[in-house]
Amino acid sequence: MGYGSIEWWAFFFRWIHIMSGIMWIGHLWYFNFTQAPTVPKIPLELRPGVTKFILPEALFWFRWSALATIVSGLVTAGLLGELLPALIVGIGEKSAHVTAIGFGMWLGSVMAFNVWFVIWPNQKKVLGLVAADDDAKKKAGRTAFLFSRINTVLSVPMLYCMASIHFY
């Protein structure tokens, strides 16, 4: 398996996919299991430390690792000749392996869409990066929170699909 071989590149992109996926889901679970329940307990005068320094940095890595996970996964599936069969969730393939990849791919795509087109635009309002009045900020915070929770729930079957491809 030389550096120019398809297998080497598939392994390389799979490794990027795994590493960026760990970063993405790690941040997702940090937001939902650590930050969300802890921030309300922080005294008001200390909260800007989270919202001005930690949260913007964490959201940067969160959204870009989501994109890196999706792109590297698509490249890997393409290199292995599984992209189209996975996109149609293995219909007609009679392959549990490709079906698992497909379900995981679609779940991850929905989650990445939520990150970039729902959570991040709403978080920009909450953080004051986009002008919004107090009511809009409150609504944006609630929307970002709910979609982050949706992603947390979707992450469990998505991770199952990711891991289960090694059993089929």
User: Per residue in 136-165, pLDDT tens?
Assistant: 999 999 999 999 999 999 999 999 998 887
Q: Is residue 119 part of a domain?
A: yes
Show the DSSP H helices in 80-119 as ranges: 83-87, 96-114
Residues in Cβ contact with 25 at an 8 Å cutoff, skipping those fewer than 6 apart: 155, 159
Q: Is residue 91 part of a domain?
A: yes
Q: Is residue 1 part of a domain?
A: no
Residue 90 is predicted with a pLDDT of: 87
Residue 145 is predicted with a pLDDT of: 96
What is the span of the domain harbouring residue 75? Answer: 6-164
What is the tally of structural domains in the chain?
A: 1
Q: Is residue 135 part of a domain?
A: yes
Q: Is residue 93 part of a domain?
A: yes
Show the DSSP H helices in the chain as ranges: 6-29, 36-38, 47-49, 55-79, 83-87, 96-114, 120-126, 134-164
